[in-house]
Structure 1
Amino acid sequence: MKTPPKLEQEDQVAIVATARKVKKEELQPVINLLETWGLKAVVGSSIGLEENQFAGSDEERAEDFQRQLDNPNIKAIWCAKGGYGTVRILDQLDFTKFIKNPKWIIGYSDITALHSHIHNIGISTLHAQICLNIENKSNLTRETLRKSLFGEVVDYTFSHHKLNRNGIAEDEIIGGNLSVLFSLIGSKSDLDTRGKILFIEDLDEYLYHIDRMMQNLKRNDWFKNLNGLIIGGMSDMNDNAIPFGKTAEEIIAETVTDYDFPIAFNFPAGHIEDNRAIMLGKKISLKVTSNESYMSYI
């Protein structure tokens, strides 16, 4: 697995929209943040475009992303907003130059489509806060992203959860948004979870749909040879008039009852205020104890 080079002062970071539309003025806080880090923001042509929900047409969004992929002066590409739409441009992208000269791709939620696709070509990406509303996130949301980009040490200690399963695992971390991962099954962007540590998070789903997705992953053998499972925020879940009867966390724990890998809930990432950066594709050490859980890069 290739790791993109760490950033240096004065490096350029492109801001693009791969999914929903966003106005340039909404991005001023992240442009200012990049300046405080000593980096230069390059606003892509997809910013400000509109086609219904999307930031312009699929072709316009793909062209902007391709331009930033191929530009040797751009050292990282930061996705401005999620929502839905990234999957629509995946098959229009040519990663030939990117493979030779990788750069960090940054985002989460809908950007999971990019993370998964790029994982399959052997390059690490950054599951981290999108540009929009980064000023309203925790300081650690911003600081773990900065440290990851500049090659500084990042590790995590997070709180115990009653549904955890104790144990130790070491291997590559993969994953992202559960709904997006579910939608990619059977495609060229589907993940091979064998021997990996899987991270999942989600937002605004019905509890029965969490169960349906987890059952689908189980039936596709995602958990059969998995080495570990990390669960981030499962935020703002919905229920029916007749309750499903379990929380999202309980649904996940029940689905993987028959396996013996360590499980760590409460990881500080996802659609929550504290959305810390994860270098997907990197080898990590996961340790789950009766008191706390620990994750560090190897």
Structure 2
Amino acid sequence: MKPKALISPPPLKKGDKVGIVSLSSVLDEKRLLEGKEIIENDLGFEAVYSKNILNVHHNFAGTDEEKILAFQEMLDNPEIKGIIAGRGGYGASKIIDKVNWETFKQNPKWLVGFSDLTVVHQKLQSFGIQSIHGPMMVTLKDDKKSTTSLKNALTGKNLKYKEKGHHFNREGECQGQVVGGNLCLLAHNIGSTSDISFDNKILFLEDVGEFLYNIDRMMVQLRRAGKLKNLAGLIVGQFSDLKETTVPFGKTAFEIIEEHVSEFSYPVTYDFPIGHENENRAIRCGEIMKLEVLKDMVKLSSI
């Protein structure tokens, strides 16, 4: 059966208003302004801040109530054609089930982010709507190629990535909906109201700042929940700033993941530029893409 894409929100046009939201941790004003300059001068959109954009409540960008109200306004405002998160951190999962999504489901718009925003992507995919895993306001200046990829994703252009291979790569090709995000959030999403099937899909994973034993524990969770056995393919992104315990775990993140998918036959690529490094290619979650994996090269393309 030919894979079917999720609903794609309308592409953005030059001059469209883009809402900038703060759903997770406290946002740094300097980096916010740097991102705003890129949104307006390089991407060609008008940035509109949510009411809580620089709020502070302990580590969070305001109280849960402040974040919900500000996000709700952006979702429901017909003048806002897309929404980009300021940053990740922690907090989106605390409010995701308290948002009223009815207007959004009738008139979907692109939502952009990564890391903690994985919970938002999973929620939208549970509705059957695409969203964009890609650079946020505080990372837009990190890599021009990745920022260009975000503009292409927002404006409806085909995405075509050709990246270097890795000696762990398991060769092959496949097609399917591309889904995924931060490994920690994907594991935490299992059993929630927005839990989705990964069967026959191309899953991508990334993470940052975790202990290696916890990477193993989260991969065990995915495997035990049946999330790995029926994939079309797997894209292992960047696993950054990982930590060891006093007694070393004994394996790298890639070795841990390789062990957990060794019994399966689908193509797997490692060290793809998705995650918390400077290079972070935009992916339209829910889009049908083709993955071609070789030892020395990987291609990921819109169909």
Q: TM-score band (shorter)?
A: over 0.9
* Secondary structure of 2:138's aligned partner: coil
How many angstroms apart in 2 are the aligned matches of 1:277 and 1:91? 25
Superposed displacement of residue 43, structure 1:
0.7
Match of 1:270 in 2: 275
* Runs of 5+ consecutive residues of structure 2 not aligned to the other structure: 1-5
Per the alignment, in what secondary structure is the counterpart of residue 137 of structure 2?
Answer: coil
Question: Which whole-Å CA distance do the structure 2 matches of 1:67 and 1:248 have between them?
Answer: 40
CA–CA distance in structure 2, aligned partners of residues 288 and 48 of structure 1:
42
Partner of 2:263: 258
Q: Distance in 2 between matches of 1:9 and 1:133?
A: 21
1:114-125 equivalences under 5 Å are 114-125=120-131
Shift of 1:133: 3.7
Segments of 5+ residues of structure 1 without an aligned counterpart are none
The amino acid that maps onto 1:18 is: L
Aligned partner of 2:214: which letter? H
Question: Bigger CA drift: 251-260 or 17-26?
Answer: 17-26
TM-score (norm 1): 0.97
2:71 to 57, 65, 74: 65
2:138 aligns with 132
CA distance in 2, matches of 1:53, 1:247: 30
Offset of 1:25 from its aligned partner? 4.3
Check conservation: 1:70, 1:98, Cα contact below 8 A.
yes
Distance 1:178 1:140 in 2: 24
Q: What CA deviation, in whole Å up to 9, does each residue of 1:13-57 have, x standing for no partner? A: 010100112254431112111221221110110112111001111
Equivalent residues in 2 for 1:142-153, closer than 5 Å:
142-153=147-158
AA paired with 1:81? R
DSSP 3-state at the match of 1:98:
helix
C-alpha RMSD over aligned residues: 1.0
Give the direction of change, closer, same or farther, for the CA distance of 1:225–1:133 in structure 2 (3 Å limit): closer
2:139–2:278 CA contact under 8 A, matched in 1: no
Q: Which residue of 2 aligns with 1:100?
A: 106
Is 1:223 the equivalent of 2:228?
yes
1:290 positional shift: 2.8
The answer as to whether partners of 1:173 and 1:282 remain within 8 angstroms in 2 is: yes
Q: Structure 1 stretches (4+) deviating beyond 4 angstroms? A: none
Equivalent position to 1:290, from 287, 290, 295 = 295
Equivalent residue in structure 2 for 1:183, among 183, 188, 195: 188
CA distance in 1 between counterparts of 2:225 and 2:173 reads: 24
CA contact (8 A) 1:81 1:132 kept: yes
Q: Which residue among 200, 205, 208 is the counterpart of 2:205?
A: 200
Matches within 5 A, 1:47-86: 47-86=53-92
Q: Alpha-carbon deviation of 1:243?
A: 1.1
- Shift in Å at residue 225 of structure 1? 1.1
Say whether residues 1:171 and 2:176 are aligned partners.
Answer: yes
Shift of 1:134: 2.2
- The answer on whether the counterparts of 1:24 and 1:47 sit within 8 Å (CA) in structure 2 is no
What secondary structure sits across from 2:187 in the alignment? helix
Contact persistence 1:286–1:293 (CA under 8 A): yes
User: Matched residue of 1:132: which SS?
Assistant: helix
Contact 1:158 1:266 (8 Å CA) reproduced: no
CA contact (8 A) 1:14 1:44 kept: yes
SS at match of 2:54: coil
Q: Output the CA distance in 2 between the equivalents of 1:8 and 1:153.
A: 15
Sequence identity of aligned pairs in percent?
39
Instruction: Report the number of matched residues.
Output: 297
Change (3 A) 1:74 1:155: same
1:9 Cα offset (Å): 1.4
* Alignment partners' CA distance in 2, 1:24 and 1:243: 38
Question: 1:242-257 alignment to 2 at 5 Å?
Answer: 242-257=247-262
Where does residue 24 of structure 2 map in the other structure? 19
Determine if the alignment matches structure 1 residue 45 to structure 2 residue 45. Answer: no
1:34 corresponding residue in structure 2: 39
Partner in structure 1 of residue 3 of structure 2: none
Residue 110 (structure 1) aligns with: 116
**Conservation of the 8 A alpha-carbon contact between 2:38 and 2:140:** no
Taking the aligned partners of 2:74 and 2:248, their CA distance within structure 1 comes to 47
